[in-house]
A = this chain, B = another copy of it.
Amino acid sequence: MARGRVKLAYITNDATRKATYKKRKKGLMKKASELSTLCDVEACVVIFSSTSDSQPEVWPSTVATHRMLSNFKMMPAIEQSNRTMTQESLVKKRIAKVEEQLKKLHEENRKKELTQVMFQNLGGNYLNNVKEEDLNDLSWLIDQNLNIIDNKLHMRIESFVLQEK
């Protein structure tokens, strides 16, 4: 970058970091836009910045990003592999680890729920302050999740059928 190399490390100075963030965020999204145009690919960028009002910043748009991310989630996380797993114990270790993670997630979720209840009880007029389109958005998201689950069901059923052959 200009006028001096930048050490690739966290910028401790608040003002500098914020300025850099703003510039580079713009640059990143421009690059994404260009790639998308030049090569005709769908792309999205999501940035979670504690600075920016706790809402993620996205390119190209919230709705488009949601749509793409749904696709992403529907993609099979399981890649076909011919590698045979020789060590069953390894799998068991993994499973134990996963179960630990699940426990944490459940705890986290519970906390979030409680926070939400609390938040919504702050005032009685919650729904009165919701835009129709946002409600729409919410319905849309739920639909998407249904799709994802459906997809996984089918994947599993297919696996099952194939397994039986």
Assess whether A61 is interfacial by the CB under 8 Å rule: no
On chain B, the residues within 8 Å of A44 by CB distance are 45-46
Q: Once the chains bind, are A68 and B48 in contact (CB under 8 Å)?
A: yes
Question: Complex: how many Å from CA A91 to CA B14?
Answer: 43
Q: A46-B68, A163-B127 are in contact. Are A73 and B105 (CB under 8 A)?
A: no
Q: A148-B145, A149-B108, A162-B124 are in contact. Are A39 and B28 (CB under 8 A)?
A: no
How many Å from the CB of A49 to the closest CB on chain B? 4
| B-contacting residues, A107-138, CB 8 Å | 108-109, 111-113, 115-122, 124-132, 134-138
On chain B, the residues within 8 Å of A34 by CB distance are 8, 24
Question: Complex: how many Å from CA A79 to CA B134?
Answer: 7
Assess whether A5 is interfacial by the CB under 8 Å rule: no
Chain A: how many interface residues by the 8 Å CB criterion? 116
- The secondary structure that dominates the A interface is helix
Question: Complex: how many Å from CA A6 to CA B108?
Answer: 48
Question: Complex: how many Å from CA A17 to CA B39?
Answer: 6
Q: A38-B11, A46-B69, A47-B42 are in contact. Are A105 and B135 (CB under 8 A)?
A: no
Q: A24-B38, A34-B24, A158-B120 are in contact. Are A83 and B131 (CB under 8 A)?
A: yes
On chain B, the residues within 8 Å of A160 by CB distance are 118-119, 122
On chain B, the residues within 8 Å of A109 by CB distance are 147, 149-151
On chain B, the residues within 8 Å of A126 by CB distance are 158-159, 162-163
Q: Once the chains bind, are B41 and A138 in contact (CB under 8 Å)?
A: no
How many Å from the CB of A7 to the closest CB on chain B? 9
